[in-house]
C-alpha cells in the first residue's frame, strides 16, 4: 500500500481547487494508512525538465534492442547527455512503478492538461518501462490512478462543451496504454470553477457550488477506494445554457 501524490496546478496561492482536492484525499488516505509509504511531488513548484535529444536517442536505442530491463538501460547510454537524461528519468519511473495508487491533481488548462503534468508524462514514458521484460505483462495492471481536477466551465456529458474535453479522454487513454486497467481509473472534476470570479458566469454559481460539494464528497470516497468496491467517475456538470464558458480552471 503506497501513494504517489502529484500536483500540477500552476496556482500555488491557496486558491487552487485541484490542490484542495488532492490535499483532502491525501489527508484521509494517510490517516487510514499511517505507516504506508507516501511520496509527494509538486510538478509546478519543482518542474520535471522536458525531454531532450539524449532521451530520444537513448529511447530509440532501447527500442531497437527490445525488452531491455530498466537496470540495463543505463549501460546503453552512449554519452553524457544520454546518461543525464536517464538519471532524470529513472527515479520518476521507479516512483510510478512502486506506487499502488497514483493521485494526480490536474486542472483543465486550455482544454487539456497543464504543461507541468505533460512534462512528467513525457519523462516517465520510456520504451518498455511498464512491461515485464521476460513475459511482456503490464507492470501497472494493478495500479490505481485517481485524477482530481477543476474546470472553468462545464465539460461533462450532455453539456455544450462536452466535445471540447481533451483532458479526461487523454489521461484515460494514456494510462490504459501504459497498462493500467480501465476499472482502476477514477476521475473527479469540479465544474464551473470560474463562476465565482467571472461576471459572465455569475448565474452559474449555484451549479458551481453544487459541483464542488459533489467533488469533495467523491474525493472522500475515492480516498478509501482500495478498501472498497471501485466506483465510477464523478463530474457534476449542470448544463450551461449554451454559454461558451472559458476553457481554463484554477
Which residues are known binding-site members for FMN?
Answer: 9, 16-18, 108-111
Q: Which three cell numbers stand for residue 95?
A: 516512483
Q: What are the counts of helices (DSSP H) followed by strands (DSSP E) for the chain?
A: 7, 6
Binding residues: 9, 16-18, 108-111
CA distance 7 to 46: 10
Q: Which three cell numbers stand for residue 1?
A: 500500500
Q: How many CB atoms sit inside 10 A of residue 234's CB? A: 20
SS3 130: coil
Strands 234-235 and 101-105, bridge-based pairing: unpaired
Q: Which three cell numbers stand for residue 109?
A: 488548462
- Go through the chain and tell me how many residues it has: 250
Q: Which three cell numbers stand for residue 209?
A: 457550488
Amino acid at each position: 500500500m503506497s501513494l504517489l501524490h502529484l500536483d500540477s496546478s500552476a496556482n500555488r496561492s491557496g486558491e487552487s481547487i485541484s490542490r484542495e482536492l488532492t490535499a483532502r484525499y491525501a489527508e484521509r488516505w494517510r490517516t487510514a494508512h499511517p505507516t504506508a509509504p507516501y511520496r509527494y511531488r509538486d510538478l509546478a513548484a519543482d518542474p520535471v525538465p522536458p525531454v531532450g535529444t539524449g532521451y530520444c536517442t537513448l529511447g530509440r536505442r532501447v527500442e531497437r534492442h527490445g525488452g531491455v530491463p530498466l537496470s540495463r538501460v543505463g549501460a546503453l547510454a552512449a554519452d553524457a547527455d544520454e546518461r543525464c537524461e536517464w538519471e532524470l528519468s529513472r527515479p520518476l519511473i521507479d516512483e510510478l512503478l512502486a506506487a499502488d495508487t497514483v493521485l494526480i491533481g490536474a486542472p483543465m488548462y486550455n482544454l487539456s492538461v497543464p504543461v507541468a503534468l505533460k512534462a512528467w508524462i513525457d519523462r516517465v514514458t520510456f520504451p518498455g518501462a511498464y512491461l515485464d521484460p521476460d513475459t511482456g505483462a503490464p507492470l501497472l495492471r494493478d495500479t490505481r490512478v485517481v485524477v482530481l481536477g477543476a474546470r472553468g466551465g462545464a465539460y461533462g456529458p450532455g453539456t455544450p462543451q462536452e466535445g471540447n474535453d481533451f483532458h479526461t479522454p487523454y489521461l484515460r487513454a494514456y494510462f490504459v496504454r501504459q497498462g493500467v486497467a480501465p476499472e482502476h481509473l477514477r476521475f473527479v472534476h469540479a465544474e464551473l470553477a470560474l463562476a465565482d470570479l467571472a461576471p459572465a458566469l455569475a448565474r452559474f454559481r449555484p451549479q458551481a457550488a453544487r459541483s464542488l460539494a459533489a467533488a469533495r464528497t467523491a474525493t472522500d470516497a475515492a480516498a478509501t477506494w482500495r478498501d472498497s468496491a471501485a466506483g465510477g467517475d464523478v463530474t457534476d456538470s449542470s448544463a450551461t445554457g449554451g454559454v461558451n464558458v472559458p476553457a481554463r480552471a484554477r
